[in-house]
Structure 1
């Protein structure tokens, strides 16, 4: 069984190598295209105002990468500034970028998401404190709503945009192979948007014979709504994903 990793290209390559190191067949088939924000002014203003904020929430690895890629000349990340991350992938990127203080979900959290991150933030005093949320052009506002309810003053900056990708010749061949032999392929979904983009890329496909592995219940529900016949769920940790795939292969 060949695993198709649907994350954006940078993260897909990382996961493909991880799965191959575990002895699995894996290929990258990114179903979300990431593009840096075209609003350099908004990013520059966000960087210049970092000294006023108590927390910067990065919603994904792409948010962190694109925010730092858009750093204006001379701007620095304040040493004492706290960053918030929804999971280990984003945390790894932030550490590599030189961010020393990162709040993230507990390592044994059932999920790595906004709800798990809030458990680490809920006991702090947010009344009147400024919080910057770095995200895509749109996104889920659940965590921002919780912070606002606790009195935080929210700011948002879009560091990147997401779109349905234009598939390369190689990616198109992978898609066609998966459609022709669904029993020989496993779709690995880490985003509901990847599922909906797949439907856009193959609008007339039948998914009843397809198997997918989703790393969050919301993603699993989206996959089922697409008509995918067998949808499994696993924690979004590498160990859990590998173990689940290995159990399917056996």
Structure 2
């Protein structure tokens, strides 16, 4: 893992270091927003590495079949980037594109999908997840509805939750899936592990957007106690995972910048 940079003026910020654990591409976007909002001590510490799908032939076959689908469900922004790559959306792609949250919807728009073709939870939704998306897309379902789920795969072969897929099948839909990217744990050298331990001792605040990232952290620092650590998590399921790993304080917020900043504003001053 490359050396972890210190952002400009971080030493002058009396607030604790914020560790943004999203994958590198997303972490960079959130880091810029946090620095602009005055959290200059924020640092990127990705806990999930993203790589291209292993079976590119199967992914290409899924791209060719997409034109015959009624809808494509992208589980994340990484799924969008892995599926479209550097190519513009297929000219014949008329399928609805389902996004569980604004980050995925923004990635679809960046890939060239018109906003009017994207279905996503409303901005005021209590959460951005499959359940919130289902409330929007359920009226589209009919017997024979063809859905392609574009997702990632972990090193151990896991592909994530299939809750929405099961809802579609229960209403007579036909569901297929493809793997558009791979997730794995980052590799830390001794210097990186030591620096992270120092951040923990100094009261760093952890920002988690994935239970899988928490699993990777536990394996990277297996003997570390988290009893004095604070975690801000973007979903109740991640809160459960953080609690199981012994984090002393856990705050849940929606995965939107304004919600994160409101949660951060409630942290006690050092």
TM-score bucket (shorter structure): over 0.9
- Please state if 1:142 is matched with 2:163: yes
Q: 1:9 aligns with which of 24, 40, 49?
A: 24
Q: 1:211 aligns with which of 202, 224, 230?
A: 230
The correspondence of residues 105-120 of structure 1 with structure 2, limited to 5 A, is 105-120=121-136
Q: 2:139 aligns with which of 115, 123, 130?
A: 123
Aligned length, in residue pairs: 246
Q: Which residue of 2 aligns with 1:96?
A: 110
Shift of 1:77: 4.7
Q: Which residue of 2 aligns with 1:156?
A: 177
Q: 2:44 aligns with which of 13, 28, 43?
A: 28
- Please state if 1:223 is matched with 2:242: yes
Shift of 1:80: 2.4
Unaligned runs of 5+ in 1: none
CA deviation map 1:198-232 (0-9, x unaligned)? 10100000110000001100000100000011111
Higher mean displacement: 135-144 or 160-169: 160-169
Unaligned runs of 5+ in 2: 1-15, 154-158
Shift of 1:126: 2.7
Q: 1:175 aligns with which of 183, 186, 196?
A: 196
2:193–2:221: 8 Å Cα contact kept in structure 1? no
SS state at 1:18 partner: helix
Identify if the C-alpha distance between structure 1 residues 126 and 169 changes in structure 2 by more than 3 Å, giving closer, same or farther: farther
Q: Which residue of 1 aligns with 2:54?
A: 38
1:29–1:171: 8 Å Cα contact kept in structure 2? no
Identify if the C-alpha distance between structure 1 residues 46 and 235 changes in structure 2 by more than 3 Å, giving closer, same or farther: same
RMSD, aligned CA: 1.7
TM value normalised by structure 2: 0.87
Shift of 1:124: 2.1
Distance 1:126 1:162 in 2: 33
Q: Which residue of 2 aligns with 1:86?
A: 100
1:3–1:187: 8 Å Cα contact kept in structure 2? yes
TM value normalised by structure 1: 0.93
Identify if the C-alpha distance between structure 1 residues 170 and 117 changes in structure 2 by more than 3 Å, giving closer, same or farther: farther
